[in-house]
């Protein structure tokens, strides 16, 4: 006869194991994975001449190895994409395994983005493939600083003059503050 006091312990262990199974795949996706996955999707996009939005992330098999889904050759297909540390993106169709491509990549001059040069005869897009990390608030501040000085100086002075004269006019036309203890 089962011990009624042990049943809740088994149930707790099962619930803990279930939580770990559901949480671990999400925790295994690091920030660098976003950049590598973006590079994989862009290279696949160029290779199959499809939009990047048509590719879906299925899972991660190992460090730098991703499974990406796409509708290809009249059926849903899964592609394996490995981004190696020695500068190669290796793509292989998981379903057929007949298609395999190796595309070299390298970091850009700033070391933030990954750049690959790949073109497909079927796809009219021939430019460089550039995968960069998502921009954060710090990047937006740097962009504002860069674009400020790119403009011609007379334009900067004109904008500053308008901003200053707008404040002066606002102060001059503002109603005077109510007097304390005044008439009712």
Q: Give residue 11's pLDDT.
A: 42
Could you tell me if 92 and 46 lie in one domain? yes
pTM of the model: 0.57
- Which domain does 77 fall in, by range? 28-133
Per-residue CA distances from 16 to 4, 12, 21, 26 (Å): 20, 6, 9, 16
Could you tell me if 110 and 39 lie in one domain? yes
Q: Give residue 134's pLDDT.
A: 77
Per-residue CA distances from 113 to 45, 60, 91, 133, 156 (Å): 18, 21, 20, 7, 31
Cβ atoms of 45 and 52 closer than 8 Å: yes
Does the residue 9 lie in any domain? no
Helix ranges (H only) for the chain are 6-27, 31-48, 137-150, 153-173
* Sites in the chain below the pLDDT cut of 50: 3-7, 10-31
Could you tell me if 145 and 108 lie in one domain? no
Q: Give residue 163's pLDDT.
A: 85
Q: Give residue 102's pLDDT.
A: 93
């Amino acid at each position: 006869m089962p011990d009624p006091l042990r049943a809740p312990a088994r149930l707790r262990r099962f619930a803990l194991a279930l939580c770990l199974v559901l949480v671990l795949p999400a925790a295994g996706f690091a920030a660098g994975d976003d950049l590598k996955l973006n590079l994989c999707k862009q290279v696949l996009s160029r290779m199959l001449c499809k939009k990047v939005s048509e590719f879906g992330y299925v899972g991660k098999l190992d460090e730098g190895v991703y499974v990406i889904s796409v509708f290809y050759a009249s059926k849903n297909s899964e592609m394996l994409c490995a981004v190696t540390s020695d500068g190669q993106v290796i793509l292989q169709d998981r379903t057929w395994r007949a298609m395999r491509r190796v595309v070299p990549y390298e970091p850009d001059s700033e070391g933030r983005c990954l750049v690959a040069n790949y073109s497909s005869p079927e796809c009219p897009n021939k430019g460089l493939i550039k995968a960069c990390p998502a921009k954060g608030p710090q990047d937006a501040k740097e962009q504002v600083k860069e674009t400020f000085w790119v403009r011609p100086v007379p334009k900067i002075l004109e904008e500053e003059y308008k901003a200053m004269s707008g404040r002066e006019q606002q102060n001059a036309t503002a109603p005077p503050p109510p007097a304390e203890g005044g008439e009712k």
